[in-house]
A and B are shown apart, each in its own frame.
Chain A
Amino acid sequence: MDINPILLLAALMVASTPILLAAIGELVVERSGVLNLGVEGMMIVGAVCGYIAGHSSGNPYLGFVGAAAAGAALSLIFAVLTQFLLTNQVATGLGLTMFGLGLSSLIGQGSKGSPDLTVSKLHIPLLADIPVIGPILFQHDVMVYLSVAIVAGVWAFLKYSRAGLILRAVGENHDAAHALGYNVRAVRVLAIMFGGACAGLAGAYISLVRVPQWIDGITAGAGWIALAIVVFASWKPWRLIAGAYLFGGVTVLQLNLQAEGLKIPVEYLSMAPYLATIVVLVMIRAGRAPASLGKSFHPST
């Protein structure tokens, strides 16, 4: 067995980034009291739109912008349905995933990319040259750092800002928040759109960096794993990083073991990330969910 631990840990950060991005978006959505099960759908639409925007403009960063916009636009369908037409959030989220899978495949038909579009890796001066730690932590593309920065931003927003406090109030007790004069629906629509944009970024990271190409169904359940990680993290931003990197680790290790030609057949190894999700859900006693999570709000009640 000669798996290089440095390369493994570096690959882990890349593998974890899409899950982390999607999960931090969903965390904000759930803290506002909305359960959006459409992460997978928004992710895959982000993946295809980001791919097309990136390759047609020749600039991967424009691809990420396009993906975020597409994810937010798709999430708007969910926002209108659940917030204004008061639909069941579980069913609407599932519908969003199906719709997104179909739509992405339609949009992606015949799309071609150029092989030389790459997201360049940063080489952070000095830090990148530290042995061991340098290659693991400081030689990645900008999106890896952006995902961690978004987590830090969300943490600070929820903990220290007034707007963050309002968002949490809406998620804990929408009737009380309404009585205090806060616009519950507006807060939730904005949160849902933030979640959509993050999911879009996550999808684009898969189609522009991780794989990088467009294939139907490319997200392969990553959106659902992101949902599981939000529960795993007990709705706390910093714990998301631990969760996402743990899952990224399982995925990468599994791929490496396959490459090493381990005795276990490939098929059984590729179950590992999904089984790990279940095991973790069982082992971690989930913290308290936002009290209004998944409940519809109508100002008359």
Chain B
Amino acid sequence: MLRLEKRPQPSKNWSYGAPLLAVVLTIILGMGLFAILGKDPVIAIKTIFWDPVFGQFAHFYRPEVVKKAAPLVLIAVGLSFGFRAGIWNIGAEGQYIIGAICGAGVALAVYPYDTRWVLFPLMIVAGALGGFLWAMIPALLRVFFKTNEILVSLMLVYVAEVLIKAFSIGLLRNPEGYGMPGSRNLRQYPAAANLDLISGTGFHWGALTAVFAVVVAYVMFTRHQFGFNVRLAGQSPRAAGFAGVNANKLIIVCLGLSGAMAGLAGLFEVAGPSGQILGSFPSYYGFTAIIVAFLGRLNPIGILLAGLLMALTYIGGQAAEAQLNLPSAAILTFQGMLLFCLLAVDVLTNYRFKIGKAEVR
């Protein structure tokens, strides 16, 4: 009889080994899924994980992976603060959308403006502020009315999706777009465009910000009082209270921070890879970032690696869709399986399996 026994101390080895084991397990399960769909599982896995990085057309795919990873990492790092403190911002997707609307809105309002060093920083501030304010709705409601931040932030995602649709055919529609939905393309607006910093690498301002966020978050968690308070509040809210951590302040800071970072990600996306305010702009980055945050074990460095891996499944998935006719929903399923495996193997960090019957307690 197999049973679980709590380890006296969490295992260091498994805390690093578990994510790797999860990836291996997911690949095995994924091969099963692809086989059921009638695709050669080995070729499918190779198309998703190997070809975009090392294959013949890798020079085309690699920048795409960086572009996908940037918003995921940026949002996930922001979320990791709240998740560590037990504050569940599930609505990053909404904050991401609002950030994009606000940032692009500033640029479009002054079109055609040509002083980049004035406009671009303003857009960045507007994007971050938009995400921040959208996240303040669940934060303040939680603080003052004790409403559940999970549900409120999530409902606001649906509201944000409706808003961006409305704006793309209303207020922000391109006046020279012959009545087509969608705003002016910010990529063709030199003062506002978020293009590659080194051309052809996919490394744009958003990617730079994401790397910066990873470093800052790492320092915060390991060296700063705030990171300690966050961890304390998550592990033992009562102890945190006695230690003088203000729970309400923590809610506002954590939600505000994750909202601002999601807003930034939205701005960099709309000014760069996506280019337009459009009804189809929302792309589930805000939700996928939740997987990324957990895959990276809520650790900034881990999140960076996890973001790259997750971006790879997207880009590889698109390649597999084109070459092997693999349905795009298969990738979503695959990502869900990745999260399951990851959560499941986490048990090995804190518990060990024992064979034998437990004594009656």
Contacts and interface: CB of A to CB of B under 8 A. Distances in A.
B170 A281 contact: no
B82 to A, nearest CB: 11
Contact of A98 (B159, B162, B336, B350): B336
Given A221-B158, A228-B151, A274-B155, A101 B165 contact: no
A102 B339 contact: no
Given A86-B351, A102-B330, A224 B344 contact: no
Contacts of B64: none
A224 B333 CA distance: 20
B101 interface: no
A99 B90 contact: no
A35 B155 CA distance: 18
A91 B158 contact: no
Given A224-B155, A282-B145, A298-B6, A268 B333 contact: no
Interface in A17-69: 37
Interface stretch (B218-226, B287-295, B299-307): B287-295
Given A94-B287, A278-B155, 20 more contacts: A81-B344, A84-B4, A86-B351, A98-B332, A99-B340, A100-B336, A102-B335, A103-B336, A106-B327, A227-B151, A228-B151, A231-B148, A265-B170, A267-B165, A270-B162, A271-B162, A277-B155, A278-B151, A282-B147, A286-B147
B121 to A, nearest CB: 31
Q: How large is the interface on B (under 10, 10 to 19, 20 to 34, 35 or more residues)?
A: 35 or more
B154 interface: yes
A92 B159 contact: no
Interface string A207-243: 0000000001000110010011001000000000000
Interface residues of A, number: 48
A285 interface: yes
A43 to B, nearest CB: 15
A102 B159 contact: no
Interface of A: 37, 77, 81, 84-88, 90-92, 94-96, 98-106, 109, 216, 220-221, 224, 227-228, 231, 265, 267-268, 270-271, 274-275, 277-278, 281-282, 285-286, 298-301
B90 A94 contact: yes
Contact of B347 (A86, A216, A227, A271): A86
Contacts of B156: 274, 278
A234 to B, nearest CB: 13
- Most chain A CB inside 10 Å of its own CB: which residue of B88, B155, B290: B155
A91 B166 contact: no
Interface of B: 4-6, 37, 88, 90, 137, 141, 145-148, 150-152, 154-156, 158-159, 162-163, 165-166, 170, 287, 290-291, 294, 327, 329-337, 339-340, 343-344, 346-347, 350-351, 358, 361
21 contacts: A84-B4, A85-B343, A86-B347, A86-B351, A91-B343, A92-B343, A96-B336, A98-B336, A102-B329, A102-B335, A221-B158, A231-B151, A270-B162, A275-B155, A278-B155, A281-B151, A282-B145, A282-B147, A286-B147, A299-B361, A301-B6
A286 B340 contact: no
A81 B342 CA distance: 11
A86 B6 CA distance: 11
Contact of A87 (B88, B291, B343, B358): B343
A282 B140 CA distance: 11
Nearest to A88: B343
B166 A268 contact: yes
A102 B331 contact: yes
B184 to A, nearest CB: 20
Contact of B294 (A37, A91, A101, A278): A91
Contact of A95 (B166, B327, B339): B339
A224 B145 CA distance: 20
Nearest to B345: A85
Contacts of A37: 150
A268 B146 CA distance: 27
Contacts of A221: 154-155, 158
Nearest to A281: B147
Contact of A106 (B155, B158, B290, B329): B329
Contacts of A81: 340, 343-344
A277 B162 contact: no
Contacts of A271: 158-159, 162-163
Contacts of B339: 91, 94-95, 98-99
A281 B148 contact: yes
Nearest to B165: A267
A134 B179 CA distance: 48
A85 B151 contact: no
Contacts of A216: 329
A243 B340 CA distance: 32
A226 to B, nearest CB: 11
